A and B are shown apart, each in its own frame.
Chain A
Amino acid sequence: MIQVLFFAHLQDEIGENQVAMDIDSLTVKELKERIRETYAVSQMDSTMVSVNEEFAKDEQLIQRGDEVAFIPPISGG
């Protein structure tokens, strides 16, 4: 199982703040595509991904047990 967290506008669009996906492993890029297809999300290009609370690049492999978060452009401060 991979836990996927959504924040800000993604959370509103998808209607969930987290989903569990029964996947063994895939890359960040593959997960992004899968999420875009599944939830018809508008803008993903500027969205970052973190794996286990660290920023991850597109080619990074996500594995069973990881916690992944989709991080839209941030606006703290």
Chain B
Amino acid sequence: MVERRKPIPVNEAIERVMQYSHIGKTEFLPIEEAYGRFLAEDLIADHDVPFFDRSPYDGFAIRAEDTANASREEPVTLNVVGEIGAGSVFEGTVKANEAVRIMTGAAIPEGCNAVCMLELVEEIENGGKPAIRTKRSYEAGDNISFKGEDTKKGSVLAEKGTRINPGIVALLATFGYKEVPVSTKPTVGIISTGSELLEIDEPLQPGKIRNSNAYMIRAQVERAGGVPIYLGQFSDDFDTCYQQVIQAIDQVDFLVTTGGVSVGDYDYLPAIYEKMNANVLFNKVGMRPGSVTTVAEKDGKLLFGLSGNPSACYVGFELFLRPIIRAYLHHPKPYIRKEQAVLGTDFSKPNPFDRFVRGQLRVESGKLVAEPAGLDKSNVVSSLGPANVLILLPKGTRGYEAGMEVNCLLLEDEEGTDFQTFTEPDPKKQKTRESSTDLFQITEEPIDLQPMIDRLTRREAGAVVAFEGIVREWTKGKRTLFLEYQAYKPMALKMLQTIGDEIRERWPDTVVAITHRIGRLEISDIAVAIVVTSPHRKAAYEANQYAIDRIKQIVPIWKKEHWENGEEWLGDQLENVPYPDGKPTLKEEV
């Protein structure tokens, strides 16, 4: 019998997995071996940097007060009483009208409180001894790098969980970390399942494929910061498989199986989970690819059942294993970094699930542009090579068009992100989407102009033009009792949005909000309100007029007049009926 599984949302699945997150132990490695590992403790400055007041320039260390009266007309002469190279110090104290030749990085001698640069003084002889002459005066502290100016003792220079890069190595060395506290690497066991799998060196046979998943996962484990341990392929015999899993989980921190998680007859994993009494966290996720991803837990240890399809397997790893590995490594931001990019091409597949499309990210005139990398099917391998992002296309849209903003998960990023940022749909976009629908409304409620004005008022908007269309009593000698408006609402909203887009195109930085009321309206009720804000008055007036004209052309709303002596649906008040080709004049033809 085939079991019916209930998919859970991706973020919820990640949350369930991360409940079992735990951090690894600390080990000490010689600094030479620390590169690429993750700090298990904060990197703390054990002394001030600089450790002593020092000279940032080649020049002369002086007493500022000696130069107080120096001027172009009356330069001051100071006797040079010594020389200090970097790494050495001046013995004794510098006295009045004395200077010491000092090299970059050397300690300021006692008695001195400023440095004058070599090129700003004149080197002379004074009674047969070396001296300098300066035409300008100095203040105490001029040209000195003070003790602790760079880093104060005790400050945290890198938080635990930071991946050790060459710069961090420099800091470790600066602060005396001969042995570096790093996280132990988690071990990740890998078992592949599937009688269709060939080892790499076996010749190809019909019906079989080479086992690419095991090697791909090895590399993904390493990229995330773990140690992969390949435990071989599952046997065809259930009891042997069961024993394999039982033995494997004792050897490793996390266990990954690829394949064997769907509901086919030959897939043993669900039965194994059941027999070992493991707690299945989920066995179906509302995403593509990788919907059959299963994660189970036994005594706090996680078993990841990834799909046998390479792309699904890849995505499942990055979503569920990467954060658990990074968290083990003390990383404060274990989730894959998410950034906004512009979609480079259309992606017209309908989207009943959240989709993670293997894509390529590039920079185009300072903007991030993402495009799908090759064929997007879960069993396709070729698109994995060039992929450096997963383009996240949330469910519930009919398709995506080039130019739309999308979120991308950066596969090669080291910084990562936290759960809140990772799961946030996208604060910026959410906001604009909300406010853009807010801007255009069809309502049965009375219209209130003020909130519309408030919504559009901006610091850069120098002009606000507000228009109210009111139900009037007398039209060409006929008396109106009341009006009735009807709308084809979804299309009307779309057309109002179109008008907004047209206005923004014609008058830069000019924003419009339009509310149209429908239903029964009495005399003096507001039927339509249009608010335009713009940096300039002229644009605001013009755009407001344009909006009402366009409403009468393209927005499917109708008015029925109820007069003293009858009623009538009104048509085209601009009197351009009949439409020559069955259409109103559209944007490009205006």
Binding site for B on A (CB under 8 A): 5, 7-9, 11-12, 28, 45-50, 53, 55-58, 69, 71-77
Note all chain B residues with C-beta closer than 8 A to A56.
Answer: 583
Q: Which of these binds chain A: B225-233, B288-296, B569-577? A: B569-577
Q: Which of B52-60, B191-199, B318-326, B549-557 contacts A (4 or more CB under 8 A)?
A: B549-557
A50–chain B nearest beta-carbon distance, Å: 6
Cα(A4)–Cα(B131), bound, Å: 101
Which A residues touch B485, using CB under 8 A?
76
Is B469 a contact of A75 with CB atoms below 8 Å?
no
The chain A residue sitting closest to B491, CB to CB, is: A53
Q: Does A57 lie within 8 Å of B581, measured CB to CB? A: yes
**Minimum C-beta distance from B356 to chain A (A):** 28
Q: Is the beta-carbon distance between A75 and B570 smaller than 8 angstroms?
A: yes
B491 surroundings in chain A (CB, below 8 A): 50, 53, 69
State A76–B469 Cα separation when bound (angstroms): 10
Residues of B within 8 A of A55 (CB): 554, 583-584, 586
Interface residues as binary, B538-560 with A (CB distance below 8 Å gives 1, 0 otherwise):
00000000001001111111111
Given contacts A7-B488, A46-B572, are A75 and B552 in contact (CB under 8 A)?
Answer: yes
Q: Is the CB of B558 within 8 A of A7?
A: yes
One of B552, B577, B582 near A58 (C-beta < 8 A): B582
A50 to B469, CA, bound (A): 26
A48-B579, A53-B490 given as contacts; is B571 within 8 A of A73 (CB)? yes
Query: A77 contacts B581, CB within 8 Å?
Result: no
Is there an interface contact between B582 and A75, defined as CB atoms closer than 8 Å?
no
- Interchain CB contact under 8 A, B579 and A74: no
Nearest residue in A to B577 (C-beta to C-beta)?
A46
Q: Nearest chain B CB to A13's CB is how many angstroms away?
A: 10
**Complex contacts, B494 vs chain A, CB 8 Å:** 53
| Distance in angstroms between the alpha carbons of A55 and B581 in the assembled complex | 11
B 379-399 contacts with A by CB, 8 A:
none
CA distance A48 to B576 in the complex (A): 13
- The contact of A74 among B548, B557, B560, by CB within 8 Å, is B557
Q: Does any Cβ of A come within 8 Å of B315's Cβ?
A: no
B559 near A75 with CB under 8 A, answer: yes
Q: Are A57 and B582 in contact (CB under 8 A)?
A: yes
Partner of A7, one of B486, B572, B577: B486
Interface flag for B487 (CB, 8 Å)? yes
Partner of A76, one of B558, B579, B581, B583: B558
Could you jot down 11 A-B contacts, CB within 8 Å? A45-B578, A49-B582, A71-B488, A71-B556, A74-B552, A74-B553, A74-B556, A75-B569, A75-B571, A76-B485, A76-B557
Cα–Cα, bound, A46→B570 (Å): 13
A50 touches B556 (CB 8 A): yes
Closest CB in chain A relative to B348 CB, distance in Å: 14
**Further contacts, 17 of them, CB under 8 A, given A46-B572, A74-B552, A75-B573:** A7-B486, A7-B488, A48-B584, A53-B494, A55-B586, A71-B488, A72-B558, A75-B552, A75-B559, A75-B569, A76-B492, A76-B551, A76-B555, A76-B558, A77-B469, A77-B551, A77-B555
> Is B341's CB within 8 Å of the partner chain A?
no
B577 proximity list for chain A (CB < 8 A): 46, 73
Contact status A76-B528, CB under 8 Å: yes
* Set of chain B residues within 8 Å of A74, measured between Cβ atoms: 552-558, 571-572, 584
Q: Which residues of A contact B486 (CB under 8 A)?
A: 7-8, 11
Using known A-B contacts A48-B582, A53-B491, determine if residue A75 contacts B556 with beta carbons closer than 8 Å: no
Nearest CB on A from B437, distance (A): 15
A41 CB to nearest chain B CB (Å): 13
Q: List A contacts of B101 (CB < 8 A).
A: none
Closest-CB distance, B41 to chain A (whole angstroms): 60
Which residues of the other chain, B, contact A8 by a CB distance below 8 angstroms? 486, 558, 560, 569
Closest 10 A-B residue pairs measured CB to CB?
A76-B557, A73-B571, A73-B572, A8-B558, A46-B578, A75-B570, A53-B491, A9-B569, A75-B559, A46-B577
Chain A minimum-CB-distance residue to B568: A9
* Known contacts A48-B584, A50-B491; is-contact A72 B571 (Cβ 8 Å): yes
B106 vs chain A, min Cβ distance (A) = 77
- Complex CA gap A55/B491 in Å reads 9
B516 at the interface (CB under 8 A from A): yes
